[in-house]
Amino acid sequence: MTSRAGVLCLGLALLLAAAAEAAAPLPAHPPEVLRQDLEFLLRTIDEVHPDPYQAVSREDLEAHVQRIAAGLTEPLTAVQFFPRVAPLITSLGDGHTLVSPTLDSAALEEAGIRFFPLDLLFTPSGAFVLRSSGPEEEVPAGARLLSVNGTAIEEITETLLSLASGETRDLRLAKLGVDDTFKLFLWQTYGFAGTFDIEHEHDGERAGVRLAGLLPSEIRSRRTKAATKTLELETLEDGVRLLRVRHFEVDSNDFRRFLRS
């Protein structure tokens, strides 16, 4: 690997359906190579971004890079390196500039990594369950998530927000709920995989449950089966209404009829 290729890639977000790197276990890269990647990343920002220093000064960004470099004392995989570098990019305050390790979903499948099974909606008032990706509805849609594996969801959310690029906090919250972003960030940052001890609240009642994680193929399959309607409106907790538009080619007359109904 060279710094030109990079341990991390600047560009499109990582989803479970992504494909790029060799099978697990991921290779660990020595500190000197990781530092080269940091230098390459900073040069790329200067060369490619039209106006990178609206939210952060060049001096502060350089100081951030130096702090990351000073903390590189042992080899790291791309997954381990990612949580250190992502806050650097998030500080730019630009939702179109992000960094992620490139991973092969087939390799994750082969490695047997089972991810968080619930799809979530993140709002300023909390994280809410959209639907369970699992075979049973152990956690009802609309339930407010309280903790995962003993860690409060507020703490998890704040940690993961530092990895999600966006101009505002609300946009970054929304990004956490897009596709598999939360599932991947949770694994990359906390190492949570396999089984998940969940605490949640629904209709004023608190409950705890242990959920089995899902392989990438299981998540995709169950999500596809759930996506049977083009337009769907669901009422969540506290009267929040969630409108799902499953593709961009919705007939305007159909949309009007749906709203009137």
Indicate the domain borders of the chain.
9-107, 112-260
State the pLDDT at residue 70: 97
State the pLDDT at residue 130: 84
What does the pLDDT look like over 79-125, one tens digit per residue? 889 899 999 998 998 888 878 766 677 888 888 999 999 999 999 99
State the pLDDT at residue 124: 92
What does the pLDDT look like over 173-203, one tens digit per residue? 988 988 789 999 999 899 999 999 999 999 8
List the beta strands (DSSP E) in 54-153.
99-100, 118-123, 126-132, 144-148, 151-152
User: Tell me: domain 112-260, CATH 3.50.50.60, correct?
Assistant: no
Interior angle at CA 94, CA 91 and CA 95, nearest 5: 115
Mean pLDDT computed over every residue of the chain: 82
More confident residue, 243 or 223: 243
What does the pLDDT look like over 11-66, one tens digit per residue? 433 333 333 333 345 789 999 999 999 999 999 998 988 888 988 999 999 999 99
- 3-state DSSP call for residue 60? helix
d(CA 258, CA 226): 19
Q: Supply the pTM of this predicted model.
A: 0.70
